[in-house]
Amino acid sequence: MKGSCLCKSVQYECDEIMGGIVNCHCQSCRKAHAAAYTATAKVKHEHFRWLSGQQLLSAYESSPGKTRSFCSACGSHLVAERMGQEHVILRVATLDDKPLATVACHIWCSQDVSWLNETQATPHYAEWPPQR
């Protein structure tokens, strides 16, 4: 599976995802991605490779021992890493190919936002809503 940042300057490849996709609702993921939650997946270091643009990566230690890497040109957050772990934490939405996994669980729901109402009968549109 190949992936990239928004401007396509940083590109990567991964062979497989460990244990499925996890949707994280923690406050730091919410702020880092400007989204209600973030789809993440573990990828062992030996199954992850940077293909291009690695010199454009910037990093930020968002909590002790956890570093988030993002493209310095467009700001896309691509992976996070914790010291001593055997995997990177891939930001699934940056994949250009379909992930070979499905959502396994939601975590940090204790920090969920009050305005998120995906379980309610909220209208869904293929693209833009009809003109009103």
Per-residue pLDDT tens over the stretch 75-119: 999 999 998 999 999 999 999 999 988 898 888 888 888 777 766
Q: What fold characterizes domain 2-111? A: 2.170.150
- Asked whether 88 and 16 are in contact (CB, 8 A), the reply is no
For residue 129, name the pLDDT band (cuts at 50, 70, 90): confident
Residues 40 and 99: their CA atoms lie apart, in Å, by 11
Residues 57 and 62: their CA atoms lie apart, in Å, by 15
pLDDT tops 80 at residue 128: no
- H helix or E strand, kind and range, residue 99: none
This prediction's pTM: 0.84
- Spell out the residues 6+ positions from residue 5 whose beta carbon is closer than 8 angstroms to its own: 11, 53, 70, 71, 73, 74, 76, 78, 94
